[in-house]
Structure 1
Amino acid sequence: MAVQNPYQSYQNNSVTTASPGELTLMLYNGCLKFINLAKKGIQDGNIELKNTNIQKAQNIISELMVTLDSKAEVSKNMMSLYDFINRRLIDGNIKNDITAIEEAEAMVTDFRDTWKQVIQLNRARQHAGNDGRA
């Protein structure tokens, strides 16, 4: 019987048991992590670190784009914003432009913070609606 890394087990369980809203929050957090690693790559002159992590951030943005409901008006607006973020990441990668990457980072941070608030409000509403009576 192989002993699994407890951290890896926790990570796997947190992903498989997360709600769709929590998964979106995880995507935003992952994207920010990769953006920060890419910025470090630029600062350190490590082109491979920069490129690999910008591509990972772009993959997350692409995943967020795919999950949008194309019929909803807000989704069309989000698609444009995600597309802008993706283009800024590409510019940052090609030109080693930290400013472009930081623009993308600021937008992803805003989305993440807003999404986190939505999750917290939904949880508060669920708990308020569940007052323990049968």
Structure 2
Amino acid sequence: MFTPVSARAASAYKRVGAQTSIEGASPHQVICLLFEALVQSLHAARGCLARGDIEGKGQSIGKAVRILEEGLKAALDIEAGGELAVNLRGVYNYSILRLTTANLNNDITLIEEVTQLIVPVFDAWKSIPLPPVGNA
């Protein structure tokens, strides 16, 4: 479903200013870090909009869109992931569209809608059992 996390996805993660280092992280951990940064950006955008901080809202939404586009979508492998990867790509594309609209219209409900779409995907990703360390 996902290609080994590419240098592009790792680079996107670094560019969006996430605090945790990805050096030595597994592909699964990198995707988790991307989701964490995405959810944090969505919460920040919502908070900025509630406070009337339009510049901060724009920066947070821009960060969220970059994570979706350059990180999560870039890591999808449609061939190997089949229908699930196609569906995830659809969720990511829809989220990008809704966030762009939220940014243009200062619409907090669209930010909340995207958060409600992304959090269950993140929760499902976190629940994937990992093989024991050292097994190939």
- After TM superposition, the score normalised by the length of structure 2 is 0.77
Corresponding position of 1:5: none
Greater RCO (CA < 8 Å, at least 6 residues apart): 2
Identical aligned residues as a percent: 29
Q: Deviations over 1:6-58 (max 9, x none)?
A: xxxx933xx11110001000000000101111111110111110000000000
Residue in structure 2 matching 1:79, options 69, 74, 89:
89
Give the structure with the larger helix fraction.
Answer: 1
Partner of 1:67: 75
Matched, 1:101 2:108: no
Structure 2, unaligned stretches of length 5 or more? Answer: 1-18
Amino acid at match of 1:91: T
Count of residue pairs brought into register by the alignment? 113
RMSD over aligned Cα atoms: 1.7
2:124 aligned residue: 114
Matching residue of 1:11: 20
Q: Displaced runs of 4+ in structure 1, greater than 4 A?
A: none
- Residue 32 (structure 2) pairs with residue 25 (structure 1): yes
| TM-score after normalising by structure 1 | 0.78
Q: Computing the radius of gyration over CA atoms, which structure comes out larger, 1 or 2?
A: 1
